Structure 1
Amino acid sequence: MMRRTGGAATADSHPLRMRSQSGRRREKVSVMLKLTGVACIGLGLAWTLCYIYFGRYELSVVFVGLTAVGVLALHRSKRSNGSSLLLVAHGILAVICSIAWIDAPIAWVPRSVHLFLLPLAAGAAFTFEPRERYGSLIFPLVCLGAFTAFAVGALDPFAPHASPPLEVRAWGVRLNAATSMLLLAGIFAIYRIDSGKRLRMERELGRAVRNGEIEVHYQPQVRYSGIVSGAEALIRWRRPSGELLTPDAFIDLAEESTLISEIGLEVLRQACQTLKHWSSDPRTQALRLAVNISPVQLLDDSLVSSVSSIIREAGIDPTLLEFELTESALAAGTAMVIERMEALESTGVSWALDDFGTGYSSLATLRTLPVRKLKIDRHFLIEATRQESAQRLLGKIIEISQVMGLSALAEGVETPDQRELLIGLGCDHFQGYLFAQPMPRRELHAWLDMQPLPPAAPTR
């Protein structure tokens, strides 16, 4: 029941859009790209100079390519995303295969360049997430297949007659074997360190709910008129050291370890306490609160009963509670998702489809979902301010919500120009740093005291 939403460059940016971009994942990718970059540049420059010295300029060209891949890896380490990793990995694969093809064995000197395919395969299998099937499985298998083909000499008959000088090959074999094994050992060391960090954090996260370390911050949602309609609940983890972690540092781990159900219910409890507090004040009793449901939580058979129990114990009006579900959840099985959504809707809560337009649901599927609101992904808004075609697409998304009788809320609104653009396209419900950043409940209440709020519903 948590997400990362909000303004620019915030850790609340989004969980599953590659789910990919958790802090732990970014750190791991960055380390791997830096290691790759240093190794490629070092080896590339050394061999380039070596072949230039021996007058084999045609061979030095290949190692110039290896150096270029190394520079690319260091440059991309700043982004630390999956596409950068794939780009660099394929570049290395192409260079290694080219060199290994040239490096045909002779009677007393074996081939050695293909050994670098082993750390390449291990690095990919370790760095890519299991759900990234191509990077974590298919690409490593391609590397191992190429390694086997070179090891058994399957490609030797097609090797060009451009073998390196004999003076180089003898000590080159030793250097390649030692370097490739050092890289493999380095990758295993990084894996061990990362696994240790993960296990420690998983144990700490398992105690977080019991120790009261889970906090909920709130980001207001505002209408065109300036009236605050409610807020979205966003999770934070206050570690015993006092460090406050945003979702990108631990949500992936929580979902992988199934701790997400326990944590999600704690977020709901705190959100319901906030709604209960609001209900005692005529100024805030009409405010709505949005709480995110993780796709992993929908797999829990006890979810509906647990949610119903929390709402009942809090004594809140469930119609003021809105559950948000990302489109990625639909990939887990639409029929089961709809069944759980309808069961929860029967308790009185409503549903919003978060990050609409990111590619998982069709309009036919959308019509079958018990959804009353579409939350437009902030990336559509960013692109709409840069490209006219993206602006038209954003307008169509808003039009779709209107045609289907759904309300639309735009996330990540950060500037007055973006707000005016959305209003011109027919969207009048916003969330983002232009209005307020996520804040603890006490700060939210102080902020609400200075804002126009919706009129309270008439009592009967």
Structure 2
Amino acid sequence: MTRRADDREPTDSHPVRMRLQRESRRRDVAFVLKLTGLACLTQGLAWMFCYIYFGRYELSVVFVGLAGVGVLALYRSKRSDGASLLLVAHGILAVICAISLIDAPIAAVPRSVHLFLLPLAAGAAFTFERRDRYGTLIFPLICLAAFAVFAMGALDALAPNMSPPLEVRAWGARLNAATAMLLVAGIFAIYRIDSGRRLRMERELGRAVRNGEIEVHYQPQVRDSGIVSGAEALVRWRHPSGKLLAPDVFIDLAEESALIGEIGLEVLRQACETLNHWSSVPRTRALRLAVNISPVQLLDGSLVSSVSSIIREAGIDPTLLEFELTESALAADAAAMIERMEVLESTGVSWALDDFGTGYSSLATLRTLPVRKLKIDRRFLAEATRQESAQQLLGKIIEISHVMGMTALAEGVETPDQRELLIGLGCDHFQGYLFAPPMPRPELHAWLDSQRLPLPVG
């Protein structure tokens, strides 16, 4: 079944979810850089022309630097990456320190430019990614240290004798103090709004399982012969607003707030109900079902007993249940992960390594994993259709799966040409919009009625 461009649902693979998050992050960074650029450019040009008007050309040069930082911020907003943020932040820090040195206090007017170091520190702490220790901690501390140095007048002896005219200094001090405090207030207001939105979503997500808002959609998996081998269970959240939310909106929050365990078990319950229904129909009795397991879940000591209880209550054949773990999850604690995987495997379930090729596992680690299937990340397939080297790499990954006695399944198959390419490389299991999009269980059953299914065993 070929997809239409307008019926695509959000994808669930971990790298694509990460890509969506990166795109959202890039938009936020681009907005911050553009806003910063416009502010610096406007302020720099305004003060530059002000000092030119007063004939203080040596002072106007300093604000050319501020305008230059503004231009740099606008230019780097096209890239919208952490390096751009860091470059612009250091540029602003340098300009503020240079102007603060000139802005030495005089009898009637206190120093005021150094106040802008406070919103710079707060903005950095809230804007850089939390994992960026330098941007969120060290750089803000540098700003606060510089603020303290200028507030105590430790560098006043180094101030050049080029103070602005008294009337300009007086108005500038008032304007700087008001603007800096408004910036600090604005930054904390934005942070409070974001935190409030996050807490509200966390509370709503905490009630989602109890309120029956967690839904499972299924995307079929097909063999090269055209026979459907099973499906992957994909989580959705039917938000109280009525919107159906894709995992990229809430999974990270669920993992950070420990709600992922409850949500994951609910997905497993619904998946086992589906398997139980399939087992009562001879035509679907041999279909397998794949369920994603979060690394946070896997490290939970109660997971094995919870999974065993759900399987037992559903009365399903555990050999028809497959758990998927993303390769990147092994970066945290591979030994602990493998131990828990082996315990779960002893219950009868099998394991698949999702998004293979995007994580950190070595071939040595791969050999120790209780994995029977490698799910090849869709990016390899997309690149293989454009580059000969990428096609060769894809072929090697498929070859590795064969050498290790594993099945290779390619995700993101969208065109007949991609399917033929994969078959030519030795891959014989597929998943993607070429065959079917993720769909609710009733739609899946209607779709299965028109498909070739495996013969039941026994």
**Superposed pair shares fold, TM > 0.5:** yes
Check if 1:326 corresponds to 2:326: yes
Q: Does the residue aligned with 1:361 lie in a helix, a strand or coil?
A: coil
Report the Cα offset of residue 28 of structure 1.
Answer: 7.7
Contact 2:9–2:438, Cα closer than 8 Å, also in 1: no
- The one-letter code of the counterpart of 1:194 is D
Query: Who is 1:432 aligned against?
Result: 432
Query: Who is 1:34 aligned against?
Result: 31
Contact 2:17–2:248, Cα closer than 8 Å, also in 1: no
The separation in 1 between residues aligned to 2:125 and 2:324, in whole angstroms, is 33
The separation in 2 between residues aligned to 1:66 and 1:9, in whole angstroms, is 42
- The one-letter code of the counterpart of 1:325 is L
Q: Does the residue aligned with 1:394 lie in a helix, a strand or coil?
A: helix
Query: Who is 1:277 aligned against?
Result: 277
Contact 1:219–1:232, Cα closer than 8 Å, also in 2: yes
The change in CA–CA distance for 1:372 and 1:95 in structure 2 (over 3 A counts) is same
Q: Does the residue aligned with 2:220 lie in a helix, a strand or coil?
A: strand
Report the Cα offset of residue 419 of structure 1.
Answer: 2.4
Check if 1:364 corresponds to 2:364: yes
Identity %: 69
Matches within 5 A, 1:232-311: 232-311=232-311
The separation in 2 between residues aligned to 1:421 and 1:61, in whole angstroms, is 57
Match of 1:68 among 57, 66, 71: 71
- The one-letter code of the counterpart of 1:89 is L
- Which has the higher Rg, Structure 1 or Structure 2? 2
Tell me whether 38-47 or 194-203 shows the greater mean CA deviation: 38-47
Query: Who is 1:339 aligned against?
Result: 339
Report the Cα offset of residue 442 of structure 1.
Answer: 0.5
Tell me whether 426-435 or 9-18 shows the greater mean CA deviation: 9-18
Report the Cα offset of residue 125 of structure 1.
Answer: 2.7
TM-score, with structure 2 as normaliser: 0.86
Report the Cα offset of residue 380 of structure 1.
Answer: 2.3
- The one-letter code of the counterpart of 1:46 is Q
Query: Who is 1:224 aligned against?
Result: 224
Aligned residues: 442
Report the Cα offset of residue 306 of structure 1.
Answer: 0.5
Query: Who is 1:397 aligned against?
Result: 397
Matches within 5 A, 1:49-448: 49-52=46-49, 54=52, 55=57, 58-72=61-75, 75=78, 84-103=80-99, 104-105=101-102, 106-108=104-106, 112-148=112-148, 165-166=164-165, 169-448=169-448
The separation in 2 between residues aligned to 1:100 and 1:127, in whole angstroms, is 19
Higher helix share: 2
Contact 2:77–2:84, Cα closer than 8 Å, also in 1: no
- The one-letter code of the counterpart of 1:67 is G
The change in CA–CA distance for 1:58 and 1:368 in structure 2 (over 3 A counts) is same
The change in CA–CA distance for 1:373 and 1:157 in structure 2 (over 3 A counts) is farther
Structure 2: 5+ residue stretches without partners: 1-5
TM-score, with structure 1 as normaliser: 0.85
Query: Who is 2:10 aligned against?
Result: 11
Report the Cα offset of residue 428 of structure 1.
Answer: 2.3
Report the Cα offset of residue 441 of structure 1.
Answer: 0.5
- The one-letter code of the counterpart of 1:397 is I
- The one-letter code of the counterpart of 1:311 is I
Report the Cα offset of residue 201 of structure 1.
Answer: 1.6
The change in CA–CA distance for 1:88 and 1:274 in structure 2 (over 3 A counts) is same
The separation in 2 between residues aligned to 1:422 and 1:49, in whole angstroms, is 61
Tell me whether 30-39 or 300-309 shows the greater mean CA deviation: 30-39
Contact 1:224–1:423, Cα closer than 8 Å, also in 2: yes
Q: Does the residue aligned with 2:418 lie in a helix, a strand or coil?
A: helix
Query: Who is 2:3 aligned against?
Result: none
Report the Cα offset of residue 151 of structure 1.
Answer: 5.2
Contact 1:40–1:67, Cα closer than 8 Å, also in 2: yes
Q: CA RMSD in A?
A: 3.1
Contact 1:52–1:60, Cα closer than 8 Å, also in 2: no
The separation in 1 between residues aligned to 2:111 and 2:334, in whole angstroms, is 52
Report the Cα offset of residue 237 of structure 1.
Answer: 0.9
Structure 1: 5+ residue stretches without partners: 1-6, 77-83
The separation in 2 between residues aligned to 1:243 and 1:10, in whole angstroms, is 13
1:179-233 CA-partner distances (Å, limit 9, x unpaired): 2322221111111111212222222211111111110000111122222111110
The change in CA–CA distance for 1:149 and 1:348 in structure 2 (over 3 A counts) is farther
Q: Does the residue aligned with 1:386 lie in a helix, a strand or coil?
A: coil
Query: Who is 1:4 aligned against?
Result: none
Report the Cα offset of residue 148 of structure 1.
Answer: 4.8
Report the Cα offset of residue 425 of structure 1.
Answer: 2.7
Report the Cα offset of residue 113 of structure 1.
Answer: 4.5
The change in CA–CA distance for 1:391 and 1:303 in structure 2 (over 3 A counts) is same
1:396-415 CA-partner distances (Å, limit 9, x unpaired): 22222222222111212222
Contact 1:409–1:431, Cα closer than 8 Å, also in 2: yes
The separation in 1 between residues aligned to 2:355 and 2:161, in whole angstroms, is 55
